[in-house]
Amino acid sequence: MPIYSTNPATNKVDKIYEEMPDTEVDEAIAKSVETFADWKNTSYAERASLLHKVAGLLRENKKELARLITLEMGKLVSQAEGEIKLSAEIFDYYANHGEAFLSDTILHPVHGQALVRHSPIGVLLGVQPWNFPFYQVARFAAPNIMVGNTMLIKHASIVPQCAIAIEHLFLEAGAPIGL
């Protein structure tokens, strides 16, 4: 079944995409599992560097990305630009604070020793809504990338160009395929 990128202001179809076949979904899952095996062992500094690069690319491409948001889901340009700005801030926030958030917390039990350690758990699936196509991904992806997880994102079908743009941002930032 085709996926249509339709301008809600004009009801005109801008682009048409084919759904990803099951075999490609299986390949994406396998690649994400493979990438997780390496990504979970990267340093916080490497993860933070990637998040900062994504934030920078969001800022550099704010006008074009906001145009996509407006085109596909009808948000006012000023609000779409605000969404891109906020998304960049989220990536920077987790890049700047993630290591501290994830550091071990020493507990003081009456008997013995204990600590809380945050560890990546694997490949996560994020099913995203249409109304904040960049912000919702940022708030899901940034903390999970920082902790060392990989993810698959199923974006709302009415914002396919936004979903593709997000993938391209990560690849341009140097994210490994499968992250």
pLDDT, one tens digit per residue, over 144-176 is 999 999 999 999 999 999 999 999 999 999 999
Answer yes or no: is pLDDT of 23 > 90: yes
Count CB neighbours of 151 within 10 A: 19
**pLDDT interval class at 28 (50, 70, 90):** very high
Q: Where are the domains of the chain?
A: 21-173
Beta-ladder partners of 123: 150
Identity (one letter) of the amino acid at 123?
A: V
Residue carrying the six token digits 């993810």:
151
pLDDT of 43 reads 97
Among 8-17, 48-57, 87-96, name the one with the lowest average pLDDT.
Answer: 8-17
Residue 177 sits at φ, ψ, to 5 deg, of: -60, 135
Q: What pTM does this model have?
A: 0.94
| pLDDT bucket at 106, cuts 50 / 70 / 90 | very high
**Cα dihedral 154, 141, 26, 13 in deg (nearest 10):** 30
Compute CA 73 distance to the chain's CA centroid, rounded to the nearest angstrom.
19
Question: So what's the pLDDT on residue 93?
Answer: 98
The whole-angstrom separation of Cα 2 and Cα 19 is 6
Give the closest residue to 166 by CA, choosing from 26, 36, 17, 58.
Answer: 58
Q: Is the dihedral of CA 146, 152, 154, 155 positive or negative?
A: positive
DSSP conformation class of 21: P
pLDDT for residue 1: 85
Return the CATH number of the domain spanning residue range 21-173.
Answer: 3.40.605.10
- Which pair of tokens denotes residue 173? 């930032």
43, amino acid identity: S
